[in-house]
Amino acid sequence: MVTPPESLFEPLILLARLEGNCSIPSLSAILKRLAYRPNSIGYLSETFQAYGACVPSTLSVPQTQLVFYLSDELFALQSPILITLEAQSTAILKIQLASDRCAPTWQTHFEDLRDHHFHSIGMASDRGVGLVAGYQAVCQDAIWVCDQFHEFQALFKRCHLLERQAYRAIAREHERAETFYNAKSEANLQKRLEQYERAQQTCEQAMVKYDQLDVLLHLLREALHFCTDFGRLRTVAGVRSELMAVLSLIEEIEDAKLPHILKPIWSHLDDLLVPFKQVESMHTELLDLMPESVVDALVLAWHHDHLSHQSHGRKTHDHQRESQQWLDFAQGLLDDQCDLFKARVLEKLDSMVKASSLVEMVNALIRPFLNTCRGQITQETLNLIMFYHNHRRYKGGKRKGKAPIELLTGET
């Protein structure tokens, strides 16, 4: 076999490890098969450690940059990994293998970011006690946004469970119907009929319970959008009223689990409204610049473009078409000023954050590495993962063709 050129060795092992999520033992076997040397597990491990030691665990910018944090915790065996992203670019600002996740550890994490010239105007995260306390100790004047995914996760899980229960009840009803049709004697017919009627009643109750919750959760999602279907940006009072109405209706569903699930949501209602305080303030600023009809049109264009990235198939195209129609409408109202106002509105709307779910994308990037090394991950490996993520161009979505580091710094 012809030995491949040495110039391909470094790109090959980095691609296999980072892009292919290849474990070091598997990579060693591949190199042996391709006649690359050195190819031992020990050599490869030391090489990746050296690579990771050459890149930082915390990004640095030359001058103060205003950012919105998305922070989370991931676990490698018993050791927490502390992660902070910048919300718009999704660049990892800091990744840290820590000894614990208490408030002082998170406080040091955020102080280090501040020392690297990042000034946080807010953070979105789950309700991790140490995380939130550590952030508030460093960024006392910044806002904290509770992650909506975590707030409503139990409610949506309950809906999925009720859906499965409804399908099982339908199958049970069908089974009882077939048993009834196959009965022969009069006594058996009566017994099977009673069983079928009970199964039918149970099925109807299960279907009604699921249908009611499913419809109300759809209304809940809509209530949490930044704007109405008419493009009017929502107010804190309006969202509070809608949420209270929907949650009250959910409470009326005959399900013993729902009151327990709703209890923490009721107690966190004010936290859920924090993003809409930003929306109210932003709306006032926009109305000082342009007519309300233009604001509504551009908001709807942004809203449908935003939904197009979260949809699939025909819905994606429907939202894209709707977005373009509202942009055309705004163009007709503004003529040559449209591009300027459009950029202003879209920039402000994109800066609004109501969830930290994007950090799960990074968690998903890290987990395969945890699996291939059985949780025995090092800080150097995390540095390498961070560098890889920040310099990898997106292949789809609204960030297509751009790397997180480009979006953060504005430099190619």
Assess whether pLDDT exceeds 60 at residue 113: yes
Q: Which CATH architecture group holds 65-147+356-409?
A: 2-Layer Sandwich (3.30)
Confidence (pTM):
0.84
Cβ neighbours of residue 21 closer than 8 Å, sequence gap 6 or more: 368, 369, 372
Res 170: pLDDT: 95
Average pLDDT over every residue of 178-199: 84
For the chain, how big is the Rg over CA atoms in Å? 27
Res 375: pLDDT: 65
Confidence label for 294 from pLDDT (cuts 50, 70 and 90):
confident
The answer to whether residues 85 and 70 touch, using CB atoms and an 8 Å cutoff, is: yes
Gap between the Cα atoms of 40 and 43, Å rounded: 5
Assess whether pLDDT exceeds 80 at residue 292: yes
Res 86: pLDDT: 94
Q: What is the pLDDT of residues 205-215, one digit of tens each?
A: 999 999 999 99
Confidence label for 2 from pLDDT (cuts 50, 70 and 90):
low
Average pLDDT over every residue of 65-94: 92
* Mean of per-residue pLDDT scores for the chain: 89
User: Nearest-5° angle of CA 314, CA 317, CA 323?
Assistant: 140
Pick 349 or 335 by higher pLDDT.
349
Assess whether pLDDT exceeds 90 at residue 399: no
Average pLDDT over every residue of 188-202: 88
Assess whether pLDDT exceeds 70 at residue 64: yes
Element (H, E) at 208: helix 186-223
Res 306: pLDDT: 86
Q: Under DSSP, is residue 47 helix (H, G, I), strand (E, B) or coil?
A: helix
